Amino acid sequence: MQDFSNCFILVEIGKLNNMKKLKLVLLILCVSFVSGIALAHNGEEIEKQAKEKTEYLAKELQLNETQKESVYEIVSGIMKKNDEINHSKFSSEEKKQILEDNKKAEAEMLKGILSEEQFARYQKLKK
């Protein structure tokens, strides 16, 4: 869902004098810049966590390289989705349900690339 609040801000800018317009534009740019840095940092943190989890699973489940790459893609994707949900405007109960669904989806995707023995070990690790 897109946020159109900036459009309304721009309409109101026309009513301000030039100095106030300049200050407002600078403020908007600063806020946008800081938000961008925060999102980039958060994305880097997610990638780091995804790599750590993948390495842990690779060691514990004795994954081959192909499996390891697939596990990383799954883990990284789920972590990114979960981060989006955690920062969304959903209610706590909705977030809890979506995150639980994502956990089940992750397990199902992993089941498709792991052997039966590896998946059984994965299930034990989750508990």
Beta strands in the chain (DSSP E): none
Read off the pLDDT of each residue in 73-84 and give the average, rounded to a whole number: 92
Residues 82, 76: Cα–Cα separation, whole Å: 10
The model's pTM: 0.67
Residue 40 Cα distances to 25, 33, 44, 45, 47, angstroms: 22, 11, 6, 9, 11
Read off the pLDDT of each residue in 61-76 and give the average, rounded to a whole number: 96
pLDDT of residue 42: 72
Q: b/e for 73-108, b at 16 or more Cβ within 10 A?
A: ebbbebbeebbebeeeeeeeeebeebeeebeeebbe
Q: What would the pLDDT profile of 7-65 be if each residue is shown by its tens digit?
A: 444 545 455 566 666 666 666 766 665 555 555 457 789 999 999 999 999 999 999 99
